[in-house]
Structure 1
Amino acid sequence: MNYKFVYFFLAISLSFFSCEKDKKASLDGNAFFGGEIINPNSNFIVILKENKVLDSVYLDQNNRFSYIFKNFEPGLFRFYDGKEFQSVLIQPNDSLMFRLNTIEFDESLVFTGIGEKENNFLIDLFLLNDKLQDSVLKISQLEPDEFEEKLDEIRNQKLEKFKSFNEKNETTEIFNTLAKAKIDYNYYYSKEAYPFINYRENEEQIFNELPENFYSYRKDIDYNSNLLREYRPYVSFLRVHFNNLALQQHFKHSEDSTYNNKSLEYNIDKFNLISDKISDTFIKNRLLYYNMVKFINGSENDKDYETLLNLFKKKSTNNDQIVKASKLVNTYKRLKPGNTLPDVTVINKNDEFLSIKKIIEKPTVIYFWDVSKRYRYHLKDVHLKAAELSKKYPEIEFIAINVNNISTREQADILQRNRLPFVNEYHFKSPKKAVELLAISPINKVFLVDKKGNIVNPKGNMFDIKFENELLALINK
């Protein structure tokens, strides 16, 4: 047990609670939130709700913080430590503390105090779902009936865990809704994703072979849940759900039989379905924006950009997102093949500032990596893939650039921890500006440039089966 943390919690509690016998009464409907962060990524914590920053709280000399919620609506909040986000359920009269180590962010997260049981249970469900992901991917290759049977077993395992918790604890309606939604929407997500990750046949044939009641839960979906609008299982479900609905709709009036997320007609179907089924402006706008950005990052046709952007402007009511999408379209127009790579400043392992153009002396692949936990597998995978391709194609230079606001020392430590060499490694002088200028999203995109620094492909993917053909073309250019 970490006694320092316990003493800290007690000290904070005493300072805020005038009556130790009745902490709930002393908070008078407000809520206390605090914590301790080991190996902090920054010196502050950002607290958000509905994608809006409520406050920033600085860590003290012991990497601890405390915060009081006043006159607030109970529900899901998020905290951000500079690199990672996590959700937390805050209810009236909660006095909630957490402790985490950023090296194992989610796995180390433990809550203490009033509200601890509910939040620890939700984190356990989150970790259990991560643990079961490989199993779900494996069973997704089974026939529909067998897949459904195995998936039901996984869901029932979670439901039993939830039932047992409720029998031992007095729970609130909000908690019950969140816990049930985490179980249900992860289950729904797997069923919606099934046609996209099953490799037996094309998607149209898979749809035709699904049992009649395979998507029977769809009649109960709440597309406008105020409580769940920022809940990861719900948001993830909506994304794949509309991919699925749009594809089924697209097959009805096209000659396509396979999924092509770069198809303009398919994306128009998706935008129309989102607009028709969702009335909550926050959920609708965010889902439209997510798909707009995804299309821009995937498509290579300028005219298609403009067509879908015009539709996006008609259907979205979020001016900030419209401006961002318009900027991204203009960015990719500047990143057309044949144009010169934008000049950004990078920093090498000797802390020297260099123009990115100066380090390009032969045909080059520029790839990127991020230290955030959600990209932890990408960090290793992309470096190992680059090393493999570099040996195979010595005529091509492979350059890695970190996109975070970190020092050269931090960059070296991260690479060392992952047993990766500090060779041809850089980071940006101004990461935020560079990421925007080069449209580095998703993180797995790579630039192929010729020896003069001219763009050959601004949207390469090292893991694409056609990538080596692009390398051969780059060598022969």
Structure 2
Amino acid sequence: MSLRPFLYIVILCSAFLSCKKDTSAPEEVSAFFGGEIINPSSNYIIIYKSSDIIDTVYLDANNRFKYTFKDFDSGLYHFYDGKESQSFLIHPNDSIMIRVNTVEFDESLTFNGIGEKENTYLIDLFLETERQEQEVLKISQLEPEAFEEQLSNIRQQKLKKLKQFTSKHKASELFTTFAKANIDYNYYYSKEAYPFINYSKSEHEIFNGLPEDFFDFRKEIDYNNETLKDYRPYVSFLRFHFNNIALQEHFKHSKDSIYNNQSLDYNLDKLTLIDQKVTDTFIKNRLLYYNMIKFINASKSVDDYDTLLTSFNEKSTNTEHKNKASKLVNSYKRLKPGQVIPDLKVVDKNEKISSLRQLIKRPTIVYFWDVKDRYHLKVSHDRAKELQKKYPEFDIMAININAISSREQADILQRNNLNLNNEYRFENVDKAIELLSIKPVNKVFILDKKARIVNPKANMFDITIEHELLALINQ
């Protein structure tokens, strides 16, 4: 059945049912959301808003789904297919149908039905911004005045198109809010990013050479916009904005002239500025947590963790965030270079259980993969193969971080044309993820022949890993 007949049946059924309602009962606020997922990553989709899961909806035999929102508020919701997510705007009485091919997720997403025009506009705006990334990067190498002129032209063209759309289609106020925020906050983001991606001078020199009005847009920033709190352009902007103003503050009382995201003082400045400027509890706590975790995952200075954690705990009111941050700090203390790697149990392709430490006989690279991230699965194994060829003095181990059987693991590897040698999974996944702090999944351990940690945060795709491997060989 094509989408249009299917949609017609849905609307017809809805109209019929509404005639049967008791007119004395309060009117129910509802809307329909359905569609088709081509090449699905899983047999379900998750519908959520903010950090709250609304429902899990399973696909039928034709990879289609349908869901009715009841007694809900208009707003921006999200659907997640097990691999990628995208947002959609829905109002009462909307009847939205989507069609998406996971091979080209965002590019293939189409909308039909009541609510189609606004959602199509928003996804087109999202894709247009993505396509313009290289153009913005290119003009960011210009002098500030020329950069501002060209960037402002991009913004004005988008605002003009938005005005034409809202006039023609009588767009909702909520749609206009999101569309204008997309345009404005992506413009603001590019202005904030300019000192970081202009390669002509150091960040300190660039700041000093900017026109006085370059950051005048900051007067328009709403740090506490509850409507936009989950909107990607707004969230991305706030993260970069605090990177920037913290660096400007940091330059005032330090001798640094370049950006160093592992500087403790810089990160303390950032937490302080977030605490001073943001009053909305949700937005503040999320920004504090994001920057706390970002520092812990990037910095190799384990001795700095407690200082930043103390500052974080003084400012955050989210108990869950505090517990997670404390656990992560304690975990990385156990993973300090020179410590022996935790003695976890791993399972090989023959279901044989071994101690991770006992498997380490030579200098070793340990990396991880997740069934939900097919791209990382492929590129990490390709890179491991390349490193193994260049550095035969090392053993390389791949460990899956999902609660799956050896048979399921073997099937996934074989489907991706990967062999089963040196492939393992954890006997206790949750314990391993906590003890080894395996978030993000692309982190890599470099170990010496005695299973002592050389680097718990190596990056397979950074050239510095090869310098570390050579240094270990030459010890």
Secondary structure, aligned partner of 2:36: strand
Give yes or no for contact 2:302–2:336 (8 Å, CA) kept in 1.
Answer: no
Secondary structure, aligned partner of 1:17: helix
Task: State the distance in 2 between where 1:147 and 1:380 align.
Answer: 38
Say if 1:380 and 1:20 are closer, same or farther in 2 by CA, change over 3 A. same
Asked if 1:455 is matched to 2:453, the reply is yes
Equivalent residue, structure 2, for 1:288:
288
How is 1:122-133 mapped onto 2 (pairs within 5 angstroms)? 122-133=122-133
1:405 Cα deviation (Å)?
Answer: 6.0
Secondary structure, aligned partner of 1:60: coil
Give yes or no for contact 2:446–2:455 (8 Å, CA) kept in 1.
Answer: yes
Task: State the distance in 2 between where 1:359 and 1:4 align.
Answer: 56
Say if 1:412 and 1:157 are closer, same or farther in 2 by CA, change over 3 A. farther
Equivalent residue, structure 2, for 1:142:
142
Say if 1:434 and 1:219 are closer, same or farther in 2 by CA, change over 3 A. same
Equivalent residue, structure 1, for 2:47:
47
Equivalent residue, structure 2, for 1:60:
60
Give yes or no for contact 1:98–1:112 (8 Å, CA) kept in 2.
Answer: yes
How is 1:262-281 mapped onto 2 (pairs within 5 angstroms)? 262-281=262-281
TM-score (norm 2): 0.89
1:476 Cα deviation (Å)?
Answer: 3.2
Say if 1:157 and 1:359 are closer, same or farther in 2 by CA, change over 3 A. farther
Equivalent residue, structure 1, for 2:409:
408
Equivalent residue, structure 2, for 1:435:
433
Task: State the distance in 2 between where 1:370 and 1:156 align.
Answer: 42
Give yes or no for contact 1:400–1:426 (8 Å, CA) kept in 2.
Answer: yes
Equivalent residue, structure 2, for 1:15:
13
Give yes or no for contact 2:349–2:420 (8 Å, CA) kept in 1.
Answer: yes
Which of the two has higher C-alpha Rg? 2
CA offset digits 1:126-150 (Å, max 9, x no partner): 1222222222223323322232233
1:422 Cα deviation (Å)?
Answer: 6.6
Q: Which moved more, 1:269-278 or 1:149-158?
A: 149-158
Task: State the distance in 1 between where 2:111 and 2:169 align.
Answer: 16
Say if 1:386 and 1:187 are closer, same or farther in 2 by CA, change over 3 A. farther
Secondary structure, aligned partner of 1:440: coil
Task: State the distance in 2 between where 1:353 and 1:123 align.
Answer: 48
Asked if 1:364 is matched to 2:329, the reply is no
How is 1:61-460 mapped onto 2 (pairs within 5 angstroms)? 61-344=61-344, 346=346, 355-357=355-357, 359-370=359-370, 376=375, 382-403=380-401, 407-408=408-409, 411-412=412-413, 415-416=416-417, 424-426=422-424, 428=426, 431-460=429-458
Task: State the distance in 2 between where 1:27 and 1:108 align.
Answer: 36
1:362 Cα deviation (Å)?
Answer: 2.0
Say if 1:455 and 1:207 are closer, same or farther in 2 by CA, change over 3 A. same
Q: Percent identity, aligned pairs only?
A: 59
Secondary structure, aligned partner of 1:46: strand
- Count of matched residue positions in the alignment of Structure 1 and Structure 2: 467
Say if 1:381 and 1:214 are closer, same or farther in 2 by CA, change over 3 A. farther
TM-score (norm 1): 0.88
1:286 Cα deviation (Å)?
Answer: 0.3
Where does structure 2 lack aligned partners over 5 or more consecutive residues? none
Q: Which moved more, 1:452-461 or 1:35-44?
A: 35-44
Give yes or no for contact 1:27–1:93 (8 Å, CA) kept in 2.
Answer: no
CA offset digits 1:231-262 (Å, max 9, x no partner): 11110110010000000001111111111111
The amino acid across from 1:468 in the alignment is E
CA offset digits 1:198-233 (Å, max 9, x no partner): 222211011111122211111001111111100111
Secondary structure, aligned partner of 2:227: coil
Q: Which moved more, 1:328-337 or 1:356-365?
A: 356-365
